[in-house]
Amino acid sequence: MSTVTITAADINKLRQATGAGMMDCRKALTENNGDFEAAIDWLRKKGAKVAALRSDREAKEGVVLSKTTADNKTGIALCVSCETDFVSKNADFVAFAQSIMDAAIANNVKTVEELNEVSINGQKIADLVNDKLASIGEKIGISKFERVDAAYVASYIHGANRMGVLVGMNKEAVEAGKDVAMQIAAMNPVAIDADAVPADVVAREKAIITDQVAADPKMAGKPAEMIEKIAAGKLGAFFKENTLTAQAFVKDAAMSVGDYLKKSGDVVVTEFKRVALG
């Protein structure tokens, strides 16, 4: 008889590791006084439907989806990951991922933790994921989750569910939303504009550029002010290449994305999220 209190967290941990059913996990932990490794062995010896421990596996494949609410004011992008493209291309797995996305939108979820608690046909998504893990035999899970709320949100899926983009805008702009989402998918900007680039990213880039300039033999003996000026110019080039509104518009390189947005009716991008496999 177990003298250890078996908690719901203990049971969930064992389920995550093995994919076995909740009652089997509870019994395994009870029979083994809460010993996690012994419980896994007990499950295997009993012939339970147990997936091998997957914590050391990398789930780099999967299905990426993005979708907006009917009023286009909220968008969600997520990745249901797996280990092989064989599974990710399976119609049943794609449908499974789509059911999770539909539940996310229908229940207005804000985090992946909240999503895992949502029920589909009476079963929590967390339990459905564990059941799928056990039946497929691969490490799977909701590995990425993003949400955007704005006056208008555009959604775009690139390739065969390998990347999803959400773009929040200050007003409805269907064509501009699609074009900018495609831009983000192709060019992977780090921020909307230079002011929005995280301070640590700016500091890192500035340090790298300054060191590169200082190491140039042509700069030997040059004053520090000159080196700083050249480094500042190169940092500006970094912003132009890596921030959304400064980038050359992929459909017309003669203008920037910022120019295109202005031409489209003073559209302003308020936020974007890009979710990709890997």
- Please spell the DSSP secondary structure of 83-134, one letter per residue: S-HHHHT-HHHHHHHHHHHHHHHHTT--SHHHHHH-EETTEEHHHHHHHHHH
Q: Is residue 205 assigned to a domain? A: yes
Q: Is the residue at 177 inside a domain?
A: no
Q: Is residue 51 included in any domain, yes or no?
A: no
Determine the distance from the C-alpha atom of residue 106 to the mean position of all C-alpha atoms in its chain, rounded to a whole number. 20
For helices 8-18 and 36-45, angle between their N-to-C axes, nearest 10 degrees: 50
> How many domains does the structure of the chain reveal?
3
Q: Is residue 168 part of a domain?
A: no
Containing structural domain, residue 29: 8-45
Residue 55 lies in a domain: no
Per-residue pLDDT for 55 more than 50? no
218 assigned to some structural domain: yes
pTM of the predicted structure, to 2 decimals = 0.75
* Residues 182-196 pLDDT 10s: 999 999 999 999 999
Q: Please report which confidence band the pLDDT of residue 50 belongs to, taking 50, 70 and 90 as the band edges.
A: low
- What pLDDT sits at residue 1? 46
What CATH number is attached to the domain comprising 97? Answer: 3.30.479.20
User: Are 116 and 209 found together in one domain?
Assistant: no
Using CA atoms in the order 62, 70, 111, 121, what is the torsion angle rounded to 10 degrees?
-70
Q: How many CB atoms lie under 10 A from the CB of residue 268?
A: 16
For residue 54, pLDDT over 60 is answered with no
> Is 171 domain-assigned?
no
The pairs formed by 48-52 with CB atoms below 8 angstroms and a separation of 24 or more are 48/18, 48/20, 48/21, 48/24, 49/19, 49/20, 49/21, 49/134, 49/135, 50/18, 50/19, 50/20, 50/134, 51/18, 51/19, 51/133, 51/134, 51/137, 51/138, 52/137
Q: Three-class SS of residue 218? A: helix
Mean pLDDT, the chain, rounded, equals 90
